[in-house]
């Protein structure tokens, strides 16, 4: 039976008007009153940093559901190994919606207006961006037991805000299973089951991607939807659990959920807000409605306010309030209570809270802060009146803001080098064109950086043969998308290379700089279609790829070069890659003596920015390791100048660092270094000289590994963990 057919379609959809697009307001957990028996908006979760996804953030994602929820990812292909896809989505992910939209490249995710703040996401499209064991994507999560007084039969409903984009029958080997005749069998399906204490289990929702199925729910039509379905509770039931599942998916789209509510209609099912207005949504159903003749009253932070015109679409009433042009203090928390009367004469009061949005994003380096100010639809920043930046209470001297439509950017030096990992607050102070002053405080943590030992330098001018040396290795089988696996592959531990050697010389390619895409198509920042002339550099094919078997996957490569660093100071270096990379400094004998930056996972093309300090100008040996698992493959290596402009390493752009294939003097002597990394039965084996040290973060502090001798075997950290090693 089509589960939707048991409930009129008018209950399924309510889309907010365009002015609320781009809402950044966050919801907060509150005590419930009135008709709601259960409500979860996920705002009580503590979010942590990204793991495999390319868009960096300190508080953007967690795999941990709310207390007493149970997440089941046991049917994710490769679960518990390095071959389980992108970590964030190898199971239900709970993430900041705006971060998810950006890191996934949007693809219409931004159209989900009803979901705000932290949301619950099943995203097999993003999950498949890293290598995984063959299999279909099946994940489940269950609520805790929801208890309530005995309710009449068929009196309860489930409401939630949903973003559904399906896909089916388009993915096959090697990543996904096929039917007996090679047919594609993926059919992205979602199921919500209600489990009552008596053991009764009902399917209350089933949607799939098969156009010939009675459960078909089409692509593009349900990206922003308010859903209300009956729970068909038996008479006398006093508790239930809900199970949310996505089944039979491959490299398909997504399903995301927010504002899960269980109760008796009419009930409050959502509150969305921005910096000047909010809108509550009240859902009717099962013949129970709001008596609008009695009015709907609203209080904000305990004071009565006058709502705007109440509208109704299908079974959902929207109750708006606006205080424009007054702007709520960024990140301030507010409580809203809605009071209304049902058609049965019952007075209902329900309360929710929201957090006003901020408008500023800060990207710090150890010596600068770059600020991005994004104008909402409801005010315009008067940049002509000046924008002030205060770092920990001290006024900075910033650059003039640069506007690109509704986004303003400016930079300011911090005045001193920020200690790695130190905590700071930047106040961004500006005025709107109506004269309102806005103070937006943004907390951030100073990034880590390394110092290049002066002992690694030879004198300026000792570099010869401009350019770099490139070595590439390709295998036909999938392997973990990790630094350790890439190093093992380059060492020949995973089998012989099938890369194309036709233009090699002595097993190496001579290249000028690193700006590669597997098909010589535009990728990254330096590309033919770039807006700035300095960035209009054609991508070249990855040397040696396509391989002898015509494929573009399972690549490991490295660029060796001697870079002349002209003066002391702090440098910003970036690798844009699809998938991961590692940049190290040392000598040709010990190329990984010092790790400068890395991304140790699979991802779509993304920037990773890192920093190093130079006390002695001169020529230094640097190595770029690049690796790719499946799908896209691209890499570029560049630096950022003090004015924010980009320059390829050994490029022709202003400020580009010169690179050479050799130097005229002997290698410096260094005390120790990691010479090789290999895999052995899931363990990482480090071969090194000197003293082995370890740290939980790239910037340290590094502590001596007690009792370590070379070769040293390391058990990889659990999923989401990381550990860094160096030898001195």
Question: Using CA of residue 639, residue 519, residue 165, residue 47, what is the dihedral sign?
Answer: negative
In this predicted structure, what is the pLDDT of residue 302?
97
In this predicted structure, what is the pLDDT of residue 605?
87
pLDDT tens for 446-471 read: 998 999 999 999 999 999 999 999 99
Looking up tokens 């990543």 gives 175
In this predicted structure, what is the pLDDT of residue 6?
28
- The answer to whether 394 and 427 are in contact (CB under 8 A) is no
- The answer to whether 430 and 382 are in contact (CB under 8 A) is yes
Q: Which residues contact 707 (CB under 8 A, 6 or more apart)?
A: none
Give the helix/strand (H/E) hosting 101. helix 97-103
Strands 606-614 and 450-452: parallel
In this predicted structure, what is the pLDDT of residue 720?
57
CA distance 627 to 635: 9
- Tokens of residue 451, six digits: 């110092």
Instruction: For residue 455, give the 3-state DSSP assignment.
Output: helix
Q: Which residues of 419-447 are buried (b: 16+ CB within 10 A; e: fewer)?
A: ebeeebebbbbbbbeeeeebebebebebb
Domains of the chain: 277-357 (2.60.40.1220), 360-445 (2.60.40.10), 451-670 (2.60.120.1560), 672-728 (no CATH)
Query: Looking at residue 180, what DSSP letter applies?
Result: T
In this predicted structure, what is the pLDDT of residue 721?
67
In this predicted structure, what is the pLDDT of residue 660?
98
In this predicted structure, what is the pLDDT of residue 680?
75
In this predicted structure, what is the pLDDT of residue 13?
31
CA distance 337 to 720: 40
pLDDT tens for 533-584 read: 999 999 999 999 999 998 899 999 999 999 999 999 999 999 999 989 999 9
Nearest to 589 by CA among 673, 466, 473: 673
Spans of the chain below 50 pLDDT: 1-33
CA distance 223 to 225: 6
Instruction: For residue 125, give the 3-state DSSP assignment.
Output: helix
């Amino acid at each position: 039976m089509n589960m939707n057919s048991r409930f009129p379609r008018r209950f399924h959809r309510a889309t907010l008007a365009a002015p609320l697009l781009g809402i950044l307001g966050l919801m907060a957990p509150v005590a419930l009153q009135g008709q709601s028996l259960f409500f979860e908006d996920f705002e009580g979760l503590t979010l942590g940093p990204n793991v495999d996804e390319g868009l960096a953030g300190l508080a953007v994602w967690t795999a941990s559901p709310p207390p007493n929820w149970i997440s089941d990812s046991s049917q994710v292909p490769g679960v518990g190994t390095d071959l389980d896809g992108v970590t964030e989505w190898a199971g239900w992910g709970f993430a900041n919606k705006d971060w998810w939209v950006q890191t996934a490249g949007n693809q219409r995710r931004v159209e989900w207006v009803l979901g705000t703040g932290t949301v619950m996401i099943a995203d097999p499209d993003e999950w498949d961006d890293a290598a995984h064991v063959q299999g279909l994507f099946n994940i489940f999560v269950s609520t805790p037991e929801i208890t309530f007084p005995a309710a009449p039969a068929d009196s309860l409903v489930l409401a939630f805000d949903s973003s559904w984009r399906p896909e089916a029958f388009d993915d096959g080997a090697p990543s996904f299973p096929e039917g007996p005749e090679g047919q594609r069998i993926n059919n992205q399906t979602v199921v919500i089951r209600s489990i009552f204490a008596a053991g009764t289990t009902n399917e209350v929702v089933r949607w799939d991607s098969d156009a010939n199925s009675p459960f078909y729910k089409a692509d593009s039509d349900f990206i922003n939807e308010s859903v209300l379905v009956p729970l068909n509770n038996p008479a006398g039931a006093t508790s239930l659990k809900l199970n949310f599942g996505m089944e039979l998916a491959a490299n398909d789209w997504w399903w995301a959920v927010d504002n899960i509510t269980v109760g008796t209609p009419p009930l409050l099912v959502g509150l969305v807000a921005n910096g000047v207005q909010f809108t509550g949504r009240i859902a009717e159903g099962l013949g129970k409605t709001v008596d609008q003749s009695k009015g709907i009253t609203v209080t904000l932070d305990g004071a009565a306010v006058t709502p705007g015109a109440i509208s109704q679409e299908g079974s959902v009433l929207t109750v708006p309030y606006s205080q424009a042009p007054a702007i709520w203090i960024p990140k301030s928390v507010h409580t809203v209570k809605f009071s209304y009367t049902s058609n049965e004469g019952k007075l209902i009061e329900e309360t929710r809270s929201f957090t006003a949005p901020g408008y500023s994003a800060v990207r710090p380096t150890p010596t600068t802060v770059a600020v991005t100010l994004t104008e909402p639809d409801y005010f315009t920043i008067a940049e002509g009146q000046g924008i002030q930046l205060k770092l920990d209470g001290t006024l900075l001297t910033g650059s003039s803001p640069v506007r690109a439509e509704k986004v303003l950017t400016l930079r300011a030096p911090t005045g001193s080098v920020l200690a790695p990992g130190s905590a700071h607050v930047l106040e961004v102070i500006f005025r709107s064109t109506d004269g309102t002053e806005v103070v937006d405080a943004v907390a951030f943590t100073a990034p880590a950086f390394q110092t290049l030992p002066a002992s690694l330098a030879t004198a300026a001018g000792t570099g010869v043969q401009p350019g770099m040396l490139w070595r590439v290795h390709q295998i036909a089988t999938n392997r973990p998308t990790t630094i350790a696996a890439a190093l093992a592959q380059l060492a020949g531990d995973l089998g012989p290379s099938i890369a194309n050697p036709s233009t090699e010389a002595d097993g190496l390619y001579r290249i000028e700089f690193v700006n590669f895409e597997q098909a010589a198509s535009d990728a990254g920042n330096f590309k033919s279609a770039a807006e700035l002339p300095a960035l209009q550099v054609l991508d070249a094919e990855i040397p040696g790829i396509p391989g002898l078997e015509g494929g573009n996957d399972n690549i490991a490569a490295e660029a060796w070069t001697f870079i002349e660093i002209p003066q002391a100071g702090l440098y910003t270096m970036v690798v844009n890659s699809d998938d991961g990379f590692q940049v190290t400094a040392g000598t040709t004998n010990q190329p990984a003596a010092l790790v400068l930056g890395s991304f140790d996972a699979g991802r779509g093309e993304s920037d990773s920015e890192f920093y190093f300090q130079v006390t002695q100008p001169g020529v230094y040996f640097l190595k770029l390791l690049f690796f790719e698992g499946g799908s896209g493959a691209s890499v570029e290596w560049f630096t950022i100048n003090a004015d924010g402009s980009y320059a390829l390493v050994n490029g022709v752009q202003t400020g580009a660092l010169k690179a050479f294939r050799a130097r005229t003097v002997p290698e410096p002597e260094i005390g120790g270094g990691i010479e090789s990394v290999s895999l052995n039965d899931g363990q990482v084996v480090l071969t090194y000289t000197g003293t082995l040290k370890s740290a939980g973060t790239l910037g340290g502090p590094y502590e001596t590994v007690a009792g370590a001798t070379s070769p040293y075997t390391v058990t990889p950290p659990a999923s989401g963990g990381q550990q860094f090693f160096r030898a001195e």
